[in-house]
């Protein structure tokens, strides 16, 4: 993964070109890559939109980027709670807490991640 500071702020990471992820797939962005203390899951919906959440499920220890994307939702691979990728809201049990969002923007054909900045 190509990461370049963008000059926007120290918390902006250029993850690569807009087609870096196939629609309907996800990847883990390590804290080492992003400079954020937690791993971040980067998700691309079938519609081609990018979203980012804390990678660790708020329920127990599972990687949301290993889950299944359906529409604008991610299903946890361990106990199948679903979260809205747009705002991190938990949509069904057993998880009770929302997932933390991170802002992602596609600008000039590049995917920019803003670790620690809530999605708008």
> Where do contacts with ligand FES occur on this chain (CB under 6 A)?
57, 59-60, 62, 76, 78-79, 81, 94-95
Give the residue with the Cβ less far from ligand FES, 11 or 68: 68
Query: Please, what sign has the CA dihedral across residues 13, 85, 57, 118?
Result: positive
Closest to ligand FES by CB, 35 vs 77, is 77
- Identify the CA nearest to 104 among candidates 119, 83, 86, 87: 119
d(CA 51, CA 105): 9
Token digits of residue 18: 């807009």
CB of 106 to ligand FES, least distance (A): 28
Q: How far apart are CB 101 and ligand FES at their closest, in Å?
A: 16
Across the strands, what pairs with 53? 41, 101
Q: Is 10 or 94 the residue whose CB approaches ligand FES more closely?
A: 94
């Amino acid at each position: 993964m190509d990461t370049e500071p963008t000059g926007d702020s120290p918390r902006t990471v250029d993850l690569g070109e807009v087609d870096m992820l196939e629609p309907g797939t996800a990847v883990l962005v390590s804290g080492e890559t992003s400079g954020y203390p937690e791993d971040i899951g980067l998700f691309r919906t079938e519609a081609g939109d990018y979203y980012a959440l804390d990678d660790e499920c708020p329920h127990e220890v599972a990687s949301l980027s290993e889950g299944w994307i359906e529409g604008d939702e991610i299903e946890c691979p361990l106990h199948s709670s679903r979260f809205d990728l747009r705002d991190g809201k938990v949509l069904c049990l057993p998880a009770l807490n929302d997932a933390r969002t991170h802002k992602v923007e596609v600008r000039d054909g590049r995917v920019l991640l803003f670790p620690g900045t809530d999605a708008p």
